Amino acid sequence: MADRAPAELFSSSWTALCAAVADLSDQDFARPSGCAGWLARDLVCHLVIDAQDVLITLVTPVEAEATHDAVTYWNVIRTPTTGDDPLDALTVRLAAAYEEPRLLKFHLDDVGSAAGRAAGLADPSQHVSTQDKVLTTADYLGAYVLEWTLHHLDLIAHLQDAPGPPAESLAWARRLLEDIAGVPYPTSFSDEDALLVGTGRRAPSDAEKIALGGVEAMLPLVLR
């Protein structure tokens, strides 16, 4: 899907996302995020959990045959989330327990750095298991490029002038989302717009609805 290896795209997208978190002010942590029902602090807490999952998955390879790839890794639902899911609500409570934003930043930097190193050292052909799915490491890391890119957009949704995800990450994430959807999004859409509209993070404008045509009926793709 891209000239760069998944591990390199994982690294650049994750590094950019962690840098964006590091640049947040204490006040920014209390701003809404692009995830329904979550403040920025809740999203950062989710990233800590994600980084832990990545680290655990990468350091416990399996011998089983691959059952999924970067496309089929995702569970797709059609109903946008509201933040009321028990796991989403748990994340909010965990985030509140940190009390001070600097503690969340420290934990993400600590665990996130380890996850990044593990990704760089992992054999891309080895198989890993998560959520009862077996993937090659390359496919697992490729799937997370989409995760990091979407959450980077979520993090800066209400922050003016905050740097966005790397262009290569946006392009990779868009193509992966199109593969999940089974259709390309209009070429008139920027990569960012394709991701935001495609996943229901914002509603399409009237002009975008016309460009989408019949594809609009397939939206949103809510990824879990």
Angle of the 6-22 helix axis to the 137-155 helix axis, nearest 10? 30
Q: How far apart are CA 60 and CA 51, in angstroms?
A: 14
Q: How far apart are CA 73 and CA 91, in angstroms?
A: 22
- Tell me the pLDDT band of 2, cut-offs 50, 70 and 90: very low
Average pLDDT of 135-164? 97
- Please answer whether residues 76 and 180 qualify as being in contact, where contact means their C-beta atoms are separated by less than 8 angstroms: yes
User: What does the pLDDT read at residue 3?
Assistant: 57
| In-domain check, residue 191 | yes
| In-domain check, residue 1 | no
3-state secondary structure of 75: coil
- Report the percentage of the chain scoring pLDDT > 90: 88
Distances in Å between the Cα of 72 and the Cα atoms of 88, 118, 134 are 23, 23, 11
Average pLDDT of 135-152? 98
Picking from 189, 191, 198, 138, the residue whose alpha carbon sits closest to that of residue 167 is 191
pLDDT in tens, 112-138: 999 999 999 999 999 999 999 999 999
| In-domain check, residue 159 | yes
Provide the residue range defining the domain that includes 90.
6-223
- Tell me the pLDDT band of 85, cut-offs 50, 70 and 90: confident
User: What does the pLDDT read at residue 1?
Assistant: 44
| In-domain check, residue 70 | yes
Tally of domains in the chain? 1
CATH number for the domain spanning 17: value is: 1.20.120.450
